[in-house]
Amino acid sequence: MTPQPISSLLEARWFARLAAVLLTLPYWTSGIAKLFDLDGAFAEAAHFGLSPLWLVVVATVLVQIGGSALVILGRLSWLGAGALGVFTAVATLIAHPFWQVADPMQRFHERNTFLEHVGLIGGFMLAAILSHRKGRT
């Protein structure tokens, strides 16, 4: 049985909105940063060997900002959470292939980062599940 103050907090709309803002924080801040530093965004895509650069950057910004907005606003949350989850899976495989790193310290760091990103994917899965269960669109 959940104590009443905790139950009230978990049922509060503002608390759910705060959770959505925090879950998506790395994404919408990254998307905004890319908009203000397109040269840096293109350089990042080039660093990972992605092309065409303009398409990668546009798609990344759209998913990061658009997906975050859907989750935060509670509109088509399942779609926003799904897009961010798939984006995170692909980006993590590209950017943090710890199994290819020879140096043990660097491999340790990359593995931890990889697993943190997997945790974010789990968070997006939960966001989509909760959105579906509450009957939100």
Residue the block writes with tokens 């310290």: 105
Confidence of residue 79 (pLDDT cuts 50, 70, 90): very high
Cα 29 to Cα 51: distance, rounded to the nearest angstrom: 23
Residue the block writes with tokens 């290819």: 100
pLDDT digits (tens, 9 = 90+) for 41-72: 999 999 999 999 999 999 999 999 999 999 99
pLDDT digits (tens, 9 = 90+) for 108-136: 999 999 999 999 999 999 999 999 888 75
Q: Print the domain residue range for 83.
A: 4-133
The DSSP letter of residue 65 is I
Cα 124 to Cα 127: distance, rounded to the nearest angstrom: 5
Could you tell me the pTM of the whole model?
0.93
At residue 65, the pLDDT reads 98
Domain count, the chain: 1
Share the mean pLDDT of the chain.
96
